[in-house]
Structure formats: C-alpha cells, structure tokens
Amino acid sequence: MKLKHIYQIALLCGLLFTSAACGDFLKEYSQNQAYVENVTNLDELLIGEGYFRGGLTSSYFKDDQSSGFWTNLSNTDPWYFPYIHLMDDDVEEFVNGIPAETSNYIRLNAYNIYRWQPDPFRNVENNEFVDKNWTKMWSRIAAMNSIIYQLTQIDIDKDEEATALRVEGEARFLRAQFYFWMANIYGQPYCKATAATDPCIPLKTSEDIEDIYFSRATAEKVYGQMVEDLTRAAECLRGVSQVTKYRTNQAAAFTLLSRIHLYMENYEAAVAAADSVLALGYELEDMRGLQEGDKVVELKSTETLFTHGLYLMHFLHTDALKGSVSGMGYGVYCSGYTSSVDLLDSYDEHDIRLKTFFTERTQAKGTYRCVKSADWANEVSDKFAIRLPEVYLNKAEALACLHRDEEARTTIDELRAFRFEAADFKPMDKSGNELIDAIRDERRLELCFEGHRWFDLRRYAVNGVRPFEKEIYHKSVLYSNKTITTEGEYVLKPYSQDKAAYVLPIPDDAIDFNKGNLSNEVRPERTLQPLNN
C-alpha cells in the first residue's frame, strides 16, 4: 500500500472517536499528504499536523477578533482549551461600563464553564456549541501515531538517520503532550492508589484501523504511555539543536517527563528528570531591577525552553476601553475576566512578579489583568509553553514529598532569589507539610495562567503525601439596563465532594458513535449563592 494511503487511513482511524465530519477532514488534509514518501516529508507533516499554529500572521488570529469569538475560540484550529483559565481560583468575572451583551462576547458564551454547570458548552441563552477540542486532538494524535509508525517502514539513508531520530523524538513528545492534556481535561486526576482501575481516556498508539468501539483506558496505562513516549523522546532529541523554540527539544521532553512523574507521585523519577534539564545548562532570568511593564515570559528569555500555540490572555483578561458600542453609546466598557483577588493577595508585596505579571487597567483602576507575555506579540503560549521555572518547582515539590527538606528549600530558593530584590528576599524557612504547601503556593504564583492551576488543584486533592482541596467561589456579575450588579456567586465544592465537576464531559457525538462504551459522570446543577464575603 502506498505510504500516502496508509497515512490517510491512520488519520481516519483517529476519527473513530467521533462520527463528525470524517469526509470533510479527509478532504481538508488529502492534498497535504500527497507527497509523503521519505523522512523529509514526515518532517514537513510534523509541522503541519503536530505543532499548534501561532503568531500574528495567522488569519485565524485576526478573523476571530471580529465575530463569533468564543465559538471560534473553541472550534477552529489554533484555539485549544481556552476555558482552562476559567475554572480555577485565579479568575473572576469582570464587567465594566457599558458592555454589549451579545453572543460574541466571551463572558456570555463561557457562562456555564465559569459556573461549573452540568453542560459547560452552552451559553447564557442556553444555545449549545460543540467542544471540538476532542476531535481536533484525536486527529493530531492519529497523525503522530502514523508518523512514528512510518519511520519504521520507510528506507532511511545513513545521512537521514539523525533527521529520522529527531522527527521521532518530536512526534513522541507531541503525542505525550496531547495525551497529557486530554487526560487532565476529560479524565479523573491521577491517583496513585487507584490508577490501575481508574478510568481515564481512550488510548490508541497504533496506526491500524481497528473495527472496535473505544472505551476509557485506565489512568495507569495512559500515564505509562506518556512516560514511555517522553523517555524515548529525550533519547531521540539528545544533542539536537533546534533553530527555533517553536520546535521541541530534549529539555522540553525532560521537563514534561518531570511533570508527569510528579503527578504520578514518582518523586525520585521527577527529581531525576528535572536534574537532566538543569544539567543542560539553562539559566533562570534575574528579575531584580525589572519595572512594571517589563516582561520575562518572552520567546527570547532563557527560561522559555519551548512553545507552540497562541497566547490568548489579552482576550480573556481584556482591558477596559473607551469607545462606542452599537446601540449603547460612548463610554468605558469591558466584558470578560480578570485576576482574582485571592490570587493577587497571595503575592508578597515585594514580589517582582506582582508588577511584571499583572497590570492595572487604565480605564478601571483597582482591577488587574494578567500580561505575563507581551500583550499582543503572541510569542509564548498561555498553555503549551515549557518554561524553566517549572523544572525548579517540580524538583522542589518532589524533594519535599520525599522529606528531603533541606534540598527542597535550596531548590525553591534558587528560583525565589531572582523574584525579589536582594534586600527583600527571605530564604524559605518551612519544613514538613508546611514546606510542601509553600512550594505549591510558589508554583501558583510563578505559573499562573499558563495552564497549570486547574490541573494542580485536581492532583493535590488525590495526593497521597499531602492531600489538599478547597472550595472555589466565582462571583456572578449581572448587567441589565446599563446597571452592573454582583448578584451572588457559584461554589465549586472540594474535589472529594464534587468529583464530576472537575472533569469536562466527552462530547455527545463521540459517546453516541462508540455505542455507550464511553460515558460521562453526571455533573450537578449549581445554583446562585449569596456572597461569601
């Protein structure tokens, strides 16, 4: 069978997880696979079918500012999991002035996601929009499966061997990253005590068409596949020097491997993977001396190891602007989200990150939005970037959970020392459970709005060494007749009391197609509560 045909069949196999748009999918991609015959072709496919789009040159980026923003944010190719920033304790609803209450505004379309309602993919008017992230991610996983397989089937010249290894390493890294996100969006958090039986998500690594319906594999199997892929990726990418940070590398593979071992409570392995990154000689950025508006989360930063995909925080944490809104007149308006008081109050007043990660709205004093990456440069993703500070945080938490407190304090202080002016820095002095808590708090401060917090809250709740869970309160803002009112709040109970709400539902069409082998837990209806404070 010709290679191009095998590849198309592999992509079709990925779509067995949903019955939607199979014909359209093959029509869209068929021309791109017409010339897959060698390692160079697979390398090109890796770029097109593996890496997420990004950058201001994307037509999607410009088009989606104008109409149907949230719908496009959820459904078109560059936008993946934008709602990850809307479910945790770092976010609040923000309405100011005379916002136009139309279906194009993010806040109204993400109405049920922010409120943890049974069907999160319905807007304020109860109109449904399909979560196409499920289909899009499976098509990418299928593409990686096919690339990895084809590397074993084609003739590889000696001068192509290094390229073939690099392509395999990149494909395995991407497959692991895709599975990581799918497992933590649609599956239960990894619990070491019950991972052998806990249902997670389907697992498929073969390129073959299988005449079966898919069910959820166990968390142990899904996470085990991630570890296998990243271990191999790190081997394949040894010594590879990429020409751009938009393609992955060995440091990124070791970092993600460290994260996954941390989730699995394989603490010695998490430390070893983190040390493998540090041995490569990467350096932290010294934030001392930075002023408000200066940025560290940039492509050129020594801390940015790898990134792909878009940066959406300038949309989600929109500024308050002066101007006119159709039918509403001229004034200051804003309708979106902002950084929670709970998060902002967690920073020490001398923490440099407080003035570089956040900025006060010029037209709405006293409210702060996250601007970690350059506001419109779109260089570093708000979800899929791999940054060096995580390496220190992974290692420190793992050491603390191993009760190696002195090493944990030393590791976390290597990072913290660059986040305070010398006169303001106070070394970590905690131990035991308090040290674990402090390191986790530091993780929240450093990695906020990078796609970590929601997943961290889930894993803390089932952690075997230091379990932690909390109630989360989301204020609900009502805009009516040009009047803004905080009408109350919605409450997400701790994980042990509200498990189903911490897992997003697999789309109905995928459940229907798989004849009941896939299912979702029923998420409880949430009612408005009086303000807690």
Q: What is the distance between the alpha carbons of residues 410 and 469, in angstroms, rounded to a whole number?
A: 27
Along the 533 residues of the chain, how does pLDDT read in single tens digits? 334 434 443 444 433 444 433 333 223 333 344 456 899 999 999 999 999 986 443 332 222 333 344 444 445 455 789 899 999 999 999 888 766 555 556 788 899 999 999 999 988 888 887 788 999 999 999 999 999 999 999 999 999 999 999 999 999 999 999 999 999 999 999 999 999 999 999 999 998 766 678 899 999 999 999 999 999 999 999 999 999 999 999 999 999 999 999 999 999 999 999 999 999 999 999 999 999 989 889 999 999 999 999 888 888 888 877 666 555 555 666 778 999 999 999 999 999 999 999 999 887 888 899 998 865 566 899 999 999 999 999 999 999 999 999 999 999 999 999 999 999 999 999 999 999 999 999 999 999 999 999 999 999 999 999 999 999 999 999 877 778 889 999 999 999 999 999 999 999 989 988 888 999 999 999 999 999 86
Amino acid 293: pLDDT = 86
Contact 186, 503 (CB under 8 A): yes
> Sign (positive/negative) of CA torsion 248, 252, 254, 259?
negative
Q: What is the distance between the alpha carbons of residues 153 and 369, in angstroms, rounded to a whole number?
A: 50
Quick one: which of 165, 176, 185, 188 has its CA closest to 140? 176
Contact 84, 448 (CB under 8 A): no
Amino acid 375: pLDDT = 57
CB atoms within 10 A of CB 434: 14
**Interior/surface letters 283-303, b for 16+ CB within 10 angstroms, e for the rest:** ebbebeebeeeebbbbbebeb
User: What CA dihedral angle connects 498, 501, 507 and 511, to 10 degrees?
Assistant: -10
Amino acid 421: pLDDT = 98
Amino acid 207: pLDDT = 84
Domains, the chain, ordered by start? 3-55+134-240 (1.25.40.890), 68-131+312-372+472-513 (no CATH)
Name the phi and psi angles at 139, rounded to 5: -65, -35
Would you put residue 5 in left (φ > 0), alpha (ψ -120 to 50) or beta?
alpha
Task: Give the angle 169-173-179 at the CA atoms, nearest 5°.
Answer: 145
How does strand 483-492 pair with strand 472-480? Answer: antiparallel
Contact 255, 303 (CB under 8 A): no
The pTM assigned to this predicted structure is 0.91
Q: What is the distance between the alpha carbons of residues 142 and 11, in angstroms, rounded to a whole number?
A: 5
Amino acid 66: pLDDT = 30
Name the phi and psi angles at 323, rounded to 5: 165, -170
Name the percent of the chain in helix, strand, coil, to the closest 5.
45, 10, 45
Q: What is the distance between the alpha carbons of residues 283 and 272, in angstroms, rounded to a whole number?
A: 18
Amino acid 22: pLDDT = 32
